Structure 1
Amino acid sequence: MKTKIAKLAASAALILGLSSPAWAAVELEWWDFLAGGDGVRMKALIQQFNEEHPDIRIQGTTLEWGAPYYTKVRTAVAVGQGPDIMTYHLSRLPLALEEGVLSPISDADLGKAGLSRDDFFPAAIEAATGPDGQLMAVPFDIHAIVAYYNKTALQGSKWLDGEGNLTGIGSVEDLTELLSWAKDKGFSDPLSFQTEGGGGVWRMFYTLFRQQGGEFLTDGEVLAGDNLAKAARAIQIMADWRGAGLIPEQASYEASVALFSGGKAILHTNGVWEVPTFKDQAAAGTLGFDWFANEIPQLLDQPATWADSHAFAIPNDANMTAETRDAVLTVIGWMEKHSLDWAGAGHIPAYKPTVESAEYQALEPNATYASLAEHAAFDPRSKIAGVASPAYDAVDNLIAPAIHGYLTADEAAAQMKEQLQALMN
């Protein structure tokens, strides 16, 4: 419909003797969930695209992150009122497949965008692919948690190497030693992260779980075999830190960030998206110490870090014209090739040529923690997992209470298995 209106406008322009190319622009409705620094950068990219493409006009709308966004997408696509292009978390892909809200993206589509599957990190492409091998979205980034740290406080200690990176942390015991040392130095909450529940606890739990080689789902079974014990161990590690006063009590997301920037935590685990926060504070002179960020250290059996991807998706709309779809593919290709600007938000671009560029390699701390793209542990491929999923509910109702002593780690893991397994049927 939007393309038809644009063509009618173009015809009217010719009749009236007007020549502005804006009359003939393909209008694309864009939805995203990007707020804060992410939102600022994406709006700037949209503006730049529009300036460079008088034949295509993106009309952007930002909606509320999480469950409200995906509910809106599901209901709008069902009645044919969805956008032409939207951002999507790849952790939500299994549910999207069940709901039928996404249009598959063929290799020919990628070619029209000037892209190929080989342009992307394998973990991101795998997360964007359905069980039949069909690509369902185009990854834009890999965003994971990293270890932010107070370089000033660690200066001269055995945990900082000559290049200013974390060192000597190869086990849970090593990290606990560092945190205990920091506690003795006056840091009230040595390791800060969101401990009240939600995303912060899930990301830390899943990192510790996957570093044991844990598999959350095996042939449709939640925490099968020894995976239940691995989940309990991950919970117990966090509970032990809390019991020793090494992580904060019931810290909200915002409070966990403030504990680090306020000098009460020597380490802070959070998403790469907080890089701009600390850069801005340092530039404004309000941080009070030098900081940096590294990949989460390997504390257990193998390197692994919770990760997700923002991706571009095309809603499943049988009435979308070929002209509109081609314009969408043009947008996707352009965004990927300008993903260095997106990296300024702390993200690792999923488009490998950007990460391999000299410009990205000069971008810090991004270039230092880019190695985590090889160790990215995406959420389980299931409708019960991913952003705003039942797995996140289990964090709030079971894992966070266990960290704070209201349940044992074994009880929390067993109840999580029972509750989530019931939803698999």
Structure 2
Amino acid sequence: MNRFTSILAASAVSLVALPAVAQTEITWWDFLGGGDGVRMRAMIDQFNAEHPDINITPTTSEWGVPFYTRVRTSAAVGQGPDIMTYHLSRLPLALQEGVLTEITDADLEAAGLEIGDFFEAAVDAASDADGALYAVPFDIHSIVLYYNKSYLEGSEFLDDDGILVGIDSLEDFERAVAHTVEQGSRAPISYQTGGPGGIWRVFYTLFGQQGGEFIVDGEVLPGDNAGKAQRAIEIMASWGEQGWQPEQAEYPASVALFTSGQSAFHLNGVWEVPTLNDLANDGSLGFEWGAVQVPQMMDELATWADSHAFAIPIQGNQDMDPERREAVMTVIGWMQRNAIAWADAGHIPAYRPVAESDEYQAMEPNATYASLADTAFFDPRSEIAGVASPVYDAAVNVIGPAMHGFLSPEEAVAQMQMELQGLIR
């Protein structure tokens, strides 16, 4: 065997002997469907491609109660995921159930993150009463006011750049609505009037703009908060009495009223931005549209908001292996730094370096309504509040009938107080 052949043989033996890159398998659970799910899968694929030492295996479960029930039961026996998406509005219940582990300063350091990197409102919603962090905010998603520019052209409510202007009070908004009716809008204010999400988000925005607090020290609508809740319901009922909003519109129908050109305004989440962009891009929308932060109609700016966040569940009675936890935090840090891809779904990144980047500021209409991150009004910090909660049930079962004239606003508030107060431990 000559020297060259010997080197080749030795190299071959060496290559065979080289161990494969050790890979940490990360189990991921989320509730993300539709466009959100598509975008998240693309981000996971990109992460896996860039990290040969870490592999994320994702599973998507049904949004709402099914997802959170599965988390609770699996975490208790140590069969849950390593990382999961979580609504911050559900955090108070998670803390009561004890299903989440604290995100420490050392965890954040492993992710290359700092607490000051995030919007304060989202951090508050992700923390317990003592300020300990139990989830890492990923976005702020809120309702916004979508508008059909064709109904507003030439009016005081549309500037030269096509941006909605001149609405600084409830009276201004209702004048704008009345103007669009004169211009032919058949259902000028569309939102989900037949389901819990749409009703609650509009109610809670109007309530928050009066400085309301829904639950204080375990009491539902104490003091003058009851009057503020009543006023919010009165406004929604009056829109119905004037024929401005649809009756019992389920979510898809409320969106269709706007996309078909029948509604001048649409109150819905930022997550519908991709829908409208897609329709506009393929030429099937038929009108120019915009979206802005819900204007100040009452005493102050406030808009219902929630956040998707990343959380690490308990592992039964076991602690997560430190190397695995570091890998999980690597995933979370990467997701934050690459959140511009998530912003494409309409969401406002909770991570300030992305939200304040030139790339995000160039996204429209996202950049136009991004200011709502500073006035985001999160759901009450209570185990009975948040998505798919008793508070949402009260929205459709109590506020809904009041909107349609089957209860007075005063009766609706009294019924909410009675039903919800009995659920607080």
Work out whether the TM-score is over 0.5: yes
Larger deviation, residues 50-59 vs 146-155: 146-155
Aligned length: 410
* 1:414 and 2:414 are equivalent in the alignment: yes
Q: Is the 8 A contact 2:151 2:183 kept in 1?
A: no
Instruction: Give, as a single letter, the amino acid of the residue that structure 1 aligns with 2:406.
Output: Y
Partner of 2:9: none
Tell me the distance in 2 between the aligned counterparts of 1:191 and 1:391: 24
Give the whole-Å Cα distance in 1 for the aligned partners of 2:186 and 2:411: 29
Q: Trace 1:18-417 onto structure 2 (pairs within 5 A).
A: 19-21=19-21, 24-317=22-315, 318-417=318-417
Q: Displaced runs of 4+ in structure 1, greater than 4 A?
A: 14-19
One-letter code aligned to 1:365: P
The answer to whether the Cα contact below 8 Å between 1:192 and 1:260 also exists between their aligned partners in 2 is yes
AA at the equivalent of 1:253 = Y
Alpha-carbon displacement from aligned partner over 1:306-335 (angstroms, at most 9, x marks no partner)? 000000000112242111101000000000
Give how far 1:424 is off: 1.2
Report the TM-score, using the length of structure 1 for normalisation. Answer: 0.95
Residue 7 (structure 2) aligns with = none
Structure 1 residue 174: Cα displacement: 1.6
- Whole-angstrom distance in 1 between the partners of 2:277 and 2:151: 18
Amino acid at match of 2:117: D
Larger Rg: 2
- 8 Å CA contact retained: 1:147, 1:295: yes
2:389 partner letter: S
Q: Does structure 1 conserve the Cα–Cα contact (< 8 Å) formed by 2:151 and 2:185?
A: no
Paired residues of 1:176 and 1:241 also in contact (CA < 8 A): no
Task: Give the distance between the partners of 2:271 and 2:238, measured in 1 at CA.
Answer: 28
Residue in 2 that maps onto 1:8: none
CA distance in 2, matches of 1:319, 1:346: 36
Q: Secondary structure at the match of 1:88?
A: strand
**Consecutive unaligned residues in structure 2, runs of 5 or more:** 1-13
Question: Root-mean-square deviation (CA), in Å?
Answer: 1.3
Displacement of 1:227 after TM fit? 0.3
Q: Deviations over 1:69-91 (max 9, x none)?
A: 10010011011100000000000
Deviation at 1:16, TM superposition (A): 7.7
Gaps of 5+ in 1: 1-13
Q: How far apart, in 2, do the equivalents of 1:278 and 1:386 lie?
A: 27
Residues of 1 paired with 2:383 and 2:111: CA distance? 29
How many Å apart are 1:19 and its aligned residue?
4.3
Return the TM-score normalized by structure 2. Answer: 0.95
Alpha-carbon distance, 1:364 to partner? 0.6
Q: Deviations over 1:9-68 (max 9, x none)?
A: xxxxx99847442xx210000000000110010000000000000000000001000011
3-state SS of paired residue (2:328): helix
Task: Report the CA distance between 1:153 and its aligned residue.
Answer: 2.4
Aligned to 1:147, the other structure's residue is in SS state strand
Q: What SS does structure 2 have at the residue aligned with 1:87?
A: strand
- Does the 8 Å CA contact 2:188/2:244 hold for their aligned counterparts? yes
Identical-pair percentage:
62
Residue 231 of structure 1: CA displacement? 0.3
Q: Is the 2:140–2:349 contact (alpha carbons within 8 Å) kept by the matching residues of 1?
A: yes
